[in-house]
Structures are given as structure tokens and as C-alpha cells.
Amino acid sequence: MEIKIAPSILASNLAMLGEEGRRMQAAGADMLHVDIMDGHFVPNLSFGPALTAALHRACGLALDVHLMLCDPLRYLQDFAKAGAAVITFHAEADSPLSDTLDAIHALGCRAGLVLKPATPAETVFPYLSRCETVMVMTVEPGFGGQTFMPDMLSKISAVRREALRQGLSPDIEVDGGIDCHTAQQAAAAGANLLVAGSALFGERDYAKAVSRLRAAARAAQK
Ligand code: DX5
Ligand code: ZN
């Protein structure tokens, strides 16, 4: 599967969001990951639809919107209107999973389920055929800059194995603590869409950081 890189804008210079997005586009990133937190589902607050729309206007990258919301169903239309290409939401959220996936597709976006570290792989199995993306959190959601949890590697493999068994090839996305070393481990386990915040925005040369991460993951795939 093609390796895709999605820098997480949460780790950027927030006073210059548009410019940061454009720099990542020029650096060869495939998408821009936008973390939406409601202060309830996770103990942090971040961005909303208006800021997402502004980011969409400012840079040409497809937006990968990660909803860390108790009731994602209620806000789907706002984020679709804001220009989201992909909307992912948590399997642990209160909205009915099936209806939420259907609603995302009806709005013309790609859909994905996200699993917190404690949620087993099997939770997504019944929904795999309707997920363009499955995201395995490799940290507890809520904050950037945390340490990758190696225990999640077996979950990544379990999702990839089951997808193959069902004849499906969704993007398997990993989020949290991804750098060249952990990207390699995640890609070897079956992940192909890598979210990285601090490891990319913490570098001076974005193009070099993006290609290094991509090369590390590609090498591990073979
Ligand atoms: C955490 C967010 C992540 C975060 C990743 O809740 O979902 O997208 O920005 O940041 P790093 O790569 O620094 O762990
Ligand atoms: Zn995220």
C-alpha cells in the first residue's frame, strides 16, 4: 500500500496556520491532519469548523479531520462544509457508529473509525467494508508530543489481517508519537497512513522531514 504522510497541524506554529499548511504542501505531504477536541471526549480543546474552513482556503492539501467529540454525528455537516476530505471519529463516542459512517458518506466525504488504545481491533471488524480509513491511536488522544505505545502494533496487524481476509484495503492510519523509528514499526505491522505532529513541525526543513519519514516507512514495508 502507498505510504501517505499527514502532518498534524496541532503541532505547528498556530499563529501561522495557513503558512504552515502551505509549507507542508510544498514539502510533499499527502494530507493535513486536523485534530478537533471538545474538552469532554478528551481533556483538551483545539479547533472548530471555522478554523478548519480557513485552513482549507489557505492550503491545497486534503484535510483529514480527526473528531475527538462525544457526539460527532451532530457536527458532521459543519466539517464537511468546512472542506474535510476525510472525517474520522471514535468508536468510543456516543453517536451510533453505523449512522455516523452513513452520514459522512452522504456528505461526500471519506469515513473512518478511530480506536483508543484500550479498544480492541475487533470493534471495527463489522464496519470495515464502510471505512476508507481505520485509525489506530498509538497514544491516548488529547495531546501532541506523547510517546508511541508499542503495544498497539499487534492491533494494527489485526486490523490489516482482517481487512485482507474481507478482501478490503482501507488506509490504516496511526496517530501519536510517530517518528522515523516508530513509523517503521507501524508500517511493518500494516499501517500506511502516518500522522505526525512534533516529528515533522519540530524540524526546520519540512521537505527533508517528510521524505525521511516516508522513506523509513517504505523500507519497513518490504
Ligand atoms: C493526539 C492527536 C494527534 C497529535 C499527534 O490526540 O490526535 O494527532 O497531534 O502528535 P504527535 O505526533 O506529536 O504525537
Ligand atoms: Zn489526531
pLDDT for the residue numbered 108? 98
Q: How far is the CA of 7 from the centre of ligand 1 (A)?
A: 9
pLDDT for the residue numbered 129? 98
Is the Cβ atom of 110 under 6 angstroms away from ligand 1?
A: no
Is the Cβ atom of 160 under 6 angstroms away from ligand 1?
A: no
pLDDT for the residue numbered 113? 99
Ranges of the chain whose pLDDT falls below 50: none
Is the Cβ atom of 36 under 6 angstroms away from ligand 1?
A: no
The residues near 101 (Cβ < 8 Å, ≥ 6 apart) are 111, 113, 127, 130, 131
Q: How many CA atoms lie within 13 A of 106 on its CB side?
A: 9
The DSSP call for residue 8 is B
Q: Which helix (H) or strand (E) holds 31?
A: strand 31-37
With beta carbons less than 8 A apart as the criterion, state whether 133 and 115 touch.
no
pLDDT for the residue numbered 102? 98
State the pairing for strand pair 31-37/4-7: unpaired
Is the Cβ atom of 8 under 6 angstroms away from ligand 1?
A: yes
Beta-strand ranges (E) seen in 91-203 are 110-115, 133-137, 171-175, 193-196
Q: How far is the CA of 201 from the centre of ligand 2 (A)?
A: 14
CA separation for the pair 214, 218 (Å, rounded): 6
pLDDT for the residue numbered 91? 98
pLDDT for the residue numbered 185? 98
pLDDT for the residue numbered 46? 98
Q: Which ligand is nearest to the CA of 9?
A: 1
**67 three-state secondary structure:** strand
pLDDT for the residue numbered 151? 98
pLDDT for the residue numbered 63? 98
Q: How far is the CA of 195 from the centre of ligand 2 (A)?
A: 7
The residues near 115 (Cβ < 8 Å, ≥ 6 apart) are 90, 91, 121, 123, 124, 134, 135, 136, 137, 155
Closest CA to 135 of 82, 92, 71: 92
pLDDT for the residue numbered 204? 97
Q: Residue 96 burial (CB < 10 Å; 0-12/13-18/19+)?
A: exposed
pLDDT for the residue numbered 93? 98
**Measured CA distances, 166 to 50, 77, 92, 158 (Å):** 38, 30, 23, 12
What ligand 1 atom has the least distance to the C-alpha of 176?
14
